Chains A and B, each alone.
Chain A
Amino acid sequence: MIMRMTGIAMIVFSCAGLGVIKSAQLQKRYRLLKEWERLIVLLEQEISYNAALPEACRRVGRKARPPFNSFLDSLSGRLEDCGGTPFPRILEEESSRYLKDGYLTKEDLQSISMLGEMMGFGDRQTQKEMLKRYGKELEIRLSDLKEQLPGKQKLYRSLGFLGGAFLGILLL
């Protein structure tokens, strides 16, 4: 009986833990997107100073937190190499290499890759406008996420605990 109770307690504890982890991942995702938003502002600033993309990415990368620092640094290196790959493709490859296994969702990665379609052409003013628009979209996305965050976090935590409790009851 003690063994059974211990097992059930462990299941409840594990499921509740899973809920807490999932909720923390949501928080982490929000923080990463917030960091990406900050970096977009820095990128816009670099472009105002007429920096070319490789230089701008390297400089912004120095001010970025992981995993964006390695991502931007590698992106800058690839752009400087001029290996014959178009910019949108390079951005997509580098984002899946450095950001895929983190907390960002598929949609977040697509949104980061979308930047490749906007950059590198037109004049400086157009580039700044593009980045501003991208930043605005990101802001809306973040604001939605922030609004939903407490509810979703609570839901994950509760689901985890209740799921564990349900399994425990089934095993009794």
Chain B
Amino acid sequence: MREEVLKLFSGEIRNILGKADLKQDRLQEIRLRVNAPLMIVYDGEEYFLSSDGKLKKTPSGACMVSAACIQETLEYISGYSLYAYEEEIRQGYITIQGGHRVGLAGKTVLDGERIKSIHHISFINVRFSHQIMGCARKVLPFVTDGDTVRHTLIISPPRCGKTTLLRDLIRQISNGDAKRAGHCVGVVDERSEIGGCYQGIPQNDVGIRTDVLDACPKAEGMMMLIRSMSPEVIAVDEIGSYEDIHAIETVINCGCKLLATVHGSSIDDIRRKPLLDRIVKERVFERYILLDGCRGIGKIRQIFDERGTCLFQGEPV
């Protein structure tokens, strides 16, 4: 495991992870729960870790995580500065160097009906960000037409790779290649998932002509980018609110192309949401890419055009 990852954990856990023979690119999650065994998700399988770094399928003999371990880990994750992650903690996660995401849970503190913070953090889930370079190669001919980019919506259930696909699409559109010129891309990365920015620097490769507005609300960010960075393409993750749809209309009227993602499993699924139904009816998006969760991350099920004609059909399961 990389040193940058190991140093996030308390001395005891660091020691165990150091002993375990883990390959960084196959490690998906490390879960710390107070008074529960240390768990990892490795190659899609769940394992428990023993004190000597051995992977076990059962919790017996696994190393137990103490409250002190969680506290120490939190200190390191936040760089001894929990105050600097106030807003992130309120939302339940911190993005760290490398673009990895640390999910947090504990006792929530409310201010009226609004979550103010999380105290007594007792559960930590470190989710490792993995870029899949070239995963958008297959969809690129559908999204671009020569030097023109088409308004595209990626539809997929959670954890099926829509952000991974969007990230690679951004990278390829931004860089360009021998056949296509590169485009200036503006990314509004509200949850720091696309660029995985750490101290404002994208930790994932998002291309050479890409500007990232990190941790910024989508609707506001899209308008800011149009005013300040004159992007040719704007990319956002997980659209859905009224403000997002309103900003999308503005983006399109400004002549910018839009790449976006949304949760759902089919076009009918998103048409059940009144706001999204309107933009489907108005044929705002020229391409709809549907991902298939059953066949692994980033697998394309279908690609439709604005009229609903199927342009690509993935192999049946």
Contact = CB atoms under 8 A, between A and B. Distances in A.
Interface in B35-91: 72, 75-76, 78-86
Contact of A124 (B10, B75, B84): B84
B12 to A, nearest CB: 10
A81 B75 CA distance: 12
Nearest to B9: A82
Q: How large is the interface on B (under 10, 10 to 19, 20 to 34, 35 or more residues)?
A: 10 to 19
Contacts of A122: 82-83
A128 B51 CA distance: 41
Contacts of A86: 75
A120 B80 contact: yes
A17 interface: no
B7 interface: yes
A54 B78 CA distance: 10
Nearest to A87: B80
B8 interface: yes
B74 to A, nearest CB: 10
A79 B83 contact: no
B281 to A, nearest CB: 42
Contacts of B8: 82
A123 B86 contact: yes
A86 B72 CA distance: 9
A51 interface: yes
B274 interface: no
Contact of A126 (B7, B72, B83, B84): B83
Interface residues of A, number: 23
A1 B20 CA distance: 84
B308 interface: no
Greatest chain A CB density within 10 A among B11, B72, B80 is at B80
Contacts of A121: 82-83
B175 interface: no
A50 interface: yes
B83 A127 contact: yes
Interface core residue of A53, A82, A126 (most chain B CB under 10 Å): A82
Contacts of A120: 75, 80-83
Question: Which of the listed residues B72, B79, B86 has the most CB atoms from chain A within 10 Å of its own CB?
Answer: B79
B199 interface: yes
Contacts of A50: 84, 86
B131 interface: no
A46 to B, nearest CB: 10
A124 B199 contact: no
Contacts of B72: 84
Residue picked from B14, B78, B83, B199, most chain A C-beta under 10 Å:
B83
B86 A82 contact: no
Contacts of A56: 81
A124 B86 contact: yes
B265 interface: no
A127 B78 CA distance: 15
B117 interface: yes
B198 to A, nearest CB: 10
A52 interface: yes
A42 interface: no
A92 interface: no
Contacts of A55: 79, 199
Interface in B93-145: 117
A123 B14 CA distance: 27
Contact of A123 (B78, B80, B83): B83
Contacts of A139: none
What are the nearest 10 A-B pairs in CB distance?
A52-B81, A82-B76, A52-B79, A52-B84, A120-B80, A53-B81, A84-B11, A82-B7, A87-B80, A127-B83
25 contacts: A47-B83, A51-B81, A52-B80, A52-B81, A52-B84, A53-B81, A53-B84, A54-B79, A54-B81, A55-B199, A79-B80, A80-B79, A82-B8, A82-B75, A82-B79, A84-B14, A86-B75, A87-B80, A119-B80, A120-B80, A121-B82, A122-B82, A123-B86, A123-B117, A124-B83
Given A82-B7, A122-B83, 17 more contacts: A51-B84, A52-B79, A53-B79, A53-B84, A56-B81, A81-B7, A82-B8, A82-B79, A84-B72, A87-B75, A87-B80, A119-B80, A120-B75, A120-B80, A120-B82, A120-B83, A122-B82
